[in-house]
Amino acid sequence: MRYKDNNKKEAIYQATILLLNRDGFSSTSMSKIAKHAGVSASTIYIYFENKDDMLKKLYLDTKQKMSTQMFSDTTDSDAKTGLAKVIRNYIDYIVNNKDAFLFLQQFTNSPYMSEFDDQEASNYFMRMYQIVKSGRQEGTFKDVDNDILFAYIEPPITELAKRYFRGESSFTEERIEALIRLAWSAIKK
């Protein structure tokens, strides 16, 4: 019986992210991933049933890591302060995890997402729902659907991140403050 090694699993994840970002979903095979990760192809099947299973688990793992960083140090904050911390933490995650960010963007826009039950990934972001709930209870957030509120928070950050990675923009303190102010003005009552 072969045992799972978390270092090998992480190497497989990192190789997968690198190859997907470079070559795309259809050109990235399990054998290429194995070769790049420095493991045998049969080793991958100790961890995953097939490529689809691996990609879905990689997506969840990456979302979990992102959410852990996004919501660190936000538990005892009022809605406005919590939102600002989440935005700052999200930007820090993006800047320091370019490959993971690009993978998440690619996965979200791929056919895999339409086949994927995003409920588990949503659970990683319960803190954001708590911030919104708190904002509503404080009377500071607009009383609209959460998806609408989130549409005014996340997409501007994502767009600036894409420009940042293309070398067209930067995340200066002034810009981060502007993102926070604009997000706040869009969702506050």
CATH number at residue 102: 1.10.357.10
State how far Cα 147 lies from the chain centre.
Answer: 16
- Tell me the pTM: 0.89
- 77 lies in the same domain as 41: no
- pLDDT above 70: residue 140: yes
At 4 the pLDDT is 67
At 103 the pLDDT is 96
Rounded to 10°, the helix 173-187/154-165 angle is: 160
Q: Averaged over 48-58, what is the pLDDT?
A: 94
User: Structural domain tally of the chain?
Assistant: 2
- 177 lies in the same domain as 91: yes
- 100 lies in the same domain as 151: yes
- CA dist., res. 38 & res. 41, Å (int): 9
Q: What is the pLDDT of residues 105-127, one digit of tens each?
A: 999 888 888 777 777 778 888 88
- State the residue range of the domain holding 26: 1-47
